[in-house]
Structure 1
């Protein structure tokens, strides 16, 4: 599997997509539906209507790259209930999604910051 840097932003297109779309069609969706800069160093992730395939579009500074994964037996646990058209996830959530974990049901511990020791 391709390894992306831990700092790369990852955006899910929440609605399911017709996978006849290739680079140009997905790039237009990023720009128009997601209202994001398709030339930004980020991963833009799409899921097909049967939730058996993912496509990842990204700009590598020389051209667009389209990565695809197809499941043979199962379905991806795609977030449904978020009202936003774009869902931002962490690299850890991305790895969970690829492994079949329902990221919408996981709640990590709250991050805390302190300025003094009590």
Structure 2
């Protein structure tokens, strides 16, 4: 059974898709200053925005998913100063479906509510 993601991060900017598990884990550790062995999913995109790689650790080894679009492009956000963008599982579904992360008709999550 695959480990469910508790956090999902898009790695801002472009990534060389020739990188494999070790190269991508190195980006997570050195560029993002995050632990690639935690329970997060890290998503990388190429310059043409037609390829994605998803890297995550699962108990005793890494998983690496690869997706290549035959037509169209992923709606990849612009890079930011943090080097990564936290997204929700719903936003990941939107991204994989060809939609923008900020879907204008979606309900926005609410945090810090008090009764």
TM-score w.r.t. structure 2 length? Answer: 0.87
Q: Following superposition, which runs of at least 4 residues in structure 1 exceed 2 angstroms of deviation?
A: 2-5, 81-84, 104-110
Q: 2:102 and 2:8 mapped to 1: Cα distance? A: 15
Match of 1:24 in 2: 22
Match of 1:52 in 2: 50
Matched pairs, number: 113
CA contact (8 A) 1:79 1:104 kept: no
CA distance 1:42–1:111, change in 2 (3 Å) = same
The alpha carbon displacement at 1:81 in A equals 5.3
Structure 1 residues 83-98: aligned runs within 5 Å: 83-98=81-96
TM-score w.r.t. structure 1 length? Answer: 0.85
Q: 2:44 and 2:114 mapped to 1: Cα distance? A: 38
RMSD: 2.1
Structure with greater strand share of residues: 2
- Structure having the higher Rg: 1
Unaligned runs of 5+ in 1: none
